[in-house]
């Protein structure tokens, strides 16, 4: 299995509902580092998994609407705890949609899976990974 990864970051504020979250129930912020891994068993005709520049642009397009935002105020996240795990899946879903619409260019139809990891600090992270073949 081949893989290529890209990394980016974004900054958000949010709060959580529920006593499980202790002081994080109050408004707080994160600078997330995001790692995305694109996987395939077969390289494109050019000998790559994906065009890294296109992969980076696709990731940035997913993150830009969230960057410097209070997630509590965004309509799509109303009444949702925007945990690191939840946001990893959100990024995955939007990247998967972008891939399906050709954002990574020709030759990427062989991609088999995608893994998104959000690092909320140097000691804590969460990931979501799934197939692109469903």
| Residue 128: CB atoms within 10 Å | 19
Ordered by where they begin, the domains of the chain are: 2-16+24-131 (3.30.479.10)
Burial environment of residue 23 by CB neighbours within 10 A (0 to 12, 13 to 18, 19 or more): exposed
32 near 87, Cβ under 8 Å?
yes
pLDDT of residue 132: 93
DSSP string, 58-80: HHHHHHTTTTTEEGGGSGGGTT-
Read off the pTM. 0.94
- Could you report the per-residue pLDDT of 32-69, keeping only the tens digit for each? 999 999 999 999 988 999 999 999 999 999 999 999 99
Q: What is the mean pLDDT of residues 73-93?
A: 97
How much is the CA Rg of the chain, to the nearest whole Å? 16
State yes or no: pLDDT of 12 exceeds 90: yes
More confident of the two residues 108 and 28:
28
């Amino acid at each position: 299995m081949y893989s290529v990864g890209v990394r980016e970051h974004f900054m958000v504020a949010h709060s959580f509902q529920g006593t499980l979250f202790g002081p994080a129930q109050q408004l707080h912020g994160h600078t997330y580092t995001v790692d995305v891994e694109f996987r395939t068993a077969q390289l494109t005709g050019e000998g790559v998994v994906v065009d890294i520049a296109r992969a980076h642009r696709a990731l940035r397009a997913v993150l830009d609407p969230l960057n410097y935002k209070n997630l509590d105020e965004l309509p799509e996240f109303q009444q949702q705890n925007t945990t690191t795990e939840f946001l990893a899946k959100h990024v995955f879903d939007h990247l998967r949609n972008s891939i399906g619409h050709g954002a990574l260019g020709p030759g990427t139809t062989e991609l088999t899976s995608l893994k998104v990891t959000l690092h909320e600090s140097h000691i804590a992270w969460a990931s979501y990974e799934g197939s692109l073949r469903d």
